[in-house]
């Protein structure tokens, strides 16, 4: 085949891909869009190169961004592909479009490239609803049939015969669950920080609540403890799981982190070593998100590392603006050799720093309409006539989250640590 023929063939293939009946894009390891076909541009209301160079997660709903950053992208890197993942895209005008995502990780000439196909699900949802209605109609039509009645009666007899056995089994399970819960609660009580005196210059408050009453203990935790040179560690984390297993893994992460910081490791160095130990020795059943800050009361500075954790929110007292302390590295314990960076932020009197897990941001009736980080920031910005304390800020955030969640309630564990810089009046 001649060079001209190859060029014509390649051009034809590019035209076919650009006009394909499904949306297609490629993006880099930094989640920057490199190519978006005409179908995707038309679906979202963009034109030309408007999407090139934008982050892929900027096209997702607030909940979808967190889901992408903490779950989808790590899985794509680890497994090399994603199949039939349900997401919601936002058009240029803010319209929500449900899609299915299939994505693939490939390597060409030493360069890692990610490609994805996005299929709108509007018609599919309508067809599914019609199928469900048809199935229900068929089930109702057969309820009076003799065979269905016979099967129902047979099932009733089987259930009656097994009733005593199930009662005994339930009693055993309940006793075991109660025992595990008691152990886990005592373990988590022991893990809660106990400060021997106040943190100089700071007013602290926290809130912790597992998602389900029967779980008793979740995988979220916080920690505050003194270090050398008068510094203090501020930690909020989220591990997968519930109950005794979650409490045990929390203890592992908490004590290993404490040991590394006690011996003088800087936050980034401590997290790199902690991540390599956790991932290299398979100490976690999944992975963890973690925010680790080291507070220096002499300079009112917090040096921090955020491992895929929800952004910390810093309310500035002088302007009323809210700054986001974004992740500085991937999730913890997933891949050995991961790189984590540390950053530093200076605090001013009456500034408020809020550190929290995704139980707050994922509050809401459904994933397409969750509170999100911006929702928490809006609650933090709300003017109030009462005296600002760490405790009052925590109470306001929790009350606002519960009001937003309404009947759905808060589905996930919630852990919140509020740090308020004291003013000269507070100190006096």
378-397 residue pLDDT tens? 999 998 888 789 999 999 99
Pick the residue with more confidence: 343 or 10? 343
Number of structural domains the chain divides into: 3
Q: Is residue 133 part of a domain?
A: no
Name the residue with higher pLDDT: 165 or 240.
Answer: 240
Give backbone dihedrals phi and psi of 175, rounded to 5 degrees, phi first: -65, -45
Is 220 found in the same domain as 172? no
Give the C-alpha separation, 67 to 401, whole Å: 19
Structure confidence at residue 187 (pLDDT): 56
User: Does residue 12 register a pLDDT over 80?
Assistant: no
Same domain, 150 and 245: no
Q: Is the pLDDT of residue 251 over 80?
A: yes
pLDDT (tens digit per residue) in 192-247: 566 556 899 999 999 988 765 544 567 889 999 999 989 999 999 999 877 778 88
Q: Are 283 and 249 in contact (CB under 8 A)?
A: yes
Query: Considering the domain boundaries, does residue 63 fall inside one?
Result: yes
Residue 158 lies in a domain: yes
Same structural domain for residues 349 and 382? yes
What's the whole-number mean pLDDT along residues 296-316? 96
What confidence tier does 426 reach under pLDDT thresholds 50, 70, 90? Answer: low
| 130 within some domain | no
Residue where one domain finishes, among candidates 91, 123, 155:
123
Q: Measured on CA atoms in the order 383, 386, 388, 394, is the torsion positive or negative?
A: negative
Residues 215 and 187 in one domain: no
Q: What is the mean pLDDT of the chain?
A: 85
Residues facing residue 25 across a β-bridge? 36, 116
pLDDT value of position 22: 86
Does some domain include residue 118? yes
70 secondary structure, DSSP code: I
Are both 105 and 178 inside the same structural domain? no
CA distances to 87, 100, 291, 362, 363 from 97, rounded to whole Å, are 8, 10, 33, 19, 21
For residue 21, is pLDDT > 80? yes
Per DSSP, helices labelled H in 303-420 are 358-361, 372-381, 390-405
pLDDT of residue 124: 65
DSSP state of 409: -
Q: What is the average per-residue pLDDT within 140-147?
A: 71
Domain CATH code at residue 310: 3.60.40.10
pLDDT of res. 170: 67
CATH number at residue 60: 3.30.450.20
Q: Residues 40-55: pLDDT tens digits?
A: 998 899 998 899 999 9
Residue that wins the pLDDT comparison between 106 and 133 = 106
What pLDDT shows up at residue 212? 57
Query: Of 275-279, 286-290, 365-369, 393-397, which range is least confident?
Result: 365-369
Same domain, 273 and 369: yes
pLDDT band at 304 (very low <50, low <70, confident <90, very high): very high
Q: Are residues 155 and 178 in the same domain?
A: yes
pLDDT at 62 over 60: yes
Residue 138 lies in a domain: no
Q: What is the pLDDT of residue 254?
A: 94
In a domain, residue 239? The reply is yes
Which structure tokens are listed for 150?
A: 């016979």
Regarding whether 183 and 210 lie in a shared domain, the answer is no
pTM over the 0.85 mark: no
What is the structure's pLDDT at 214?
A: 46
Radius of gyration of the chain measured on its C-alpha atoms: 26
Task: Let me know whether 267 and 416 are in one domain.
Answer: yes
Structural domain span for residue 53 = 3-123
In a domain, 137, yes or no: no
Among candidate residues 191, 215, 248, the one where a domain is terminated: 191
Pairing relationship of beta strands 322-325 and 414-421 according to DSSP bridges: unpaired
Over the stretch 338-372, which tens digit does the pLDDT of each residue have? Answer: 999 999 999 999 999 999 999 899 887 777 788 89
Do 78 and 161 lie in one domain? The reply is no
Can you tell me the mean pLDDT for 257-270?
96
Residues 222 and 297 in one domain: yes
Same domain, 241 and 295: yes
Does the pLDDT value for residue 168 go beyond 70? no
pLDDT at position 194: 60
């Amino acid at each position: 085949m001649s060079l001209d023929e190859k060029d014509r063939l390649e051009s034809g293939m590019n035209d076919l891909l650009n006009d394909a009946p499904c949306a297609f894009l490629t993006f880099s390891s930094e989640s920057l869009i490199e190519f978006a076909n005409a179908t995707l541009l038309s679906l979202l209301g963009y034109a030309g190169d408007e999407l090139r160079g934008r982050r892929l997660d900027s096209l997702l709903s607030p909940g979808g961004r967190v889901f992408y950053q903490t779950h989808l992208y790590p899985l794509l890197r680890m497994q090399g592909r994603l199949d039939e993942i349900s997401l919601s895209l936002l058009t240029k005008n803010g319209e929500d479009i449900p899609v299915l995502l299939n994505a693939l990780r490939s390597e060409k000439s030493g360069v890692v490239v990610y490609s994805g196909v996005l299929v709108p699900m509007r018609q599919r949802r309508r067809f599914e609803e019609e199928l469900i209605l048809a199935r229900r109609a068929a089930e109702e039509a057969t309820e009076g049939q003799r065979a269905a009645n016979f099967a129902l009666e047979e099932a009733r007899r089987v259930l009656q015969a097994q009733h005593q056995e199930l009662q005994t089994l339930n009693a055993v399970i309940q006793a075991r669950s109660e025992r595990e819960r008691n152990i886990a609660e005592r373990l988590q009580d022991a893990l809660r920080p106990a400060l021997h005196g106040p943190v100089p210059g700071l007013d602290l408050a926290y809130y912790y609540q597992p998602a389900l009453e029967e779980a008793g203990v979740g995988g979220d935790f916080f920690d505050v403890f003194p270090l050398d040179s008068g510094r203090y560690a501020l930690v909020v984390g989220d591990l997968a799981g519930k109950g005794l297993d979650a409490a045990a893994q929390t203890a592992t992460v908490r004590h290993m982190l404490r040991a590394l910081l006690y011996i003088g490791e800087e936050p980034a160095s401590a997290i790199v070593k902690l991540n390599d130990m956790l991932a290299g020795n398979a100490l976690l059943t999944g992975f963890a998100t973690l925010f680790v800050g080291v507070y220096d009361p002499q300079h009112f500075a917090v040096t921090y590392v955020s491992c895929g954790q929800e952004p910390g929110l810093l309310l500035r007292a002088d302007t009323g603006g809210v700054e986001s302390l974004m992740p500085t590295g991937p999730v913890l314990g997933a891949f050995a050799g991961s790189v984590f960076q540390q950053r530093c932020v200076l605090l001013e009197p009456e500034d408020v720093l809020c550190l929290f897990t995704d139980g707050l941001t994922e509050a809401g009736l459904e994933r397409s309409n969750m509170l999100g980080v911006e929702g928490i920031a809006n609650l933090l910005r709300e003017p109030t006539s009462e005296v600002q304390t760490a405790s009052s800020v925590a109470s306001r955030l929790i009350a606002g989250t519960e009001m937003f969640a309404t009947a759905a309630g808060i589905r996930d564990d919630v852990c919140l640590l509020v740090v308020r810089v004291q003013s000269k009046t507070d100190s006096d």
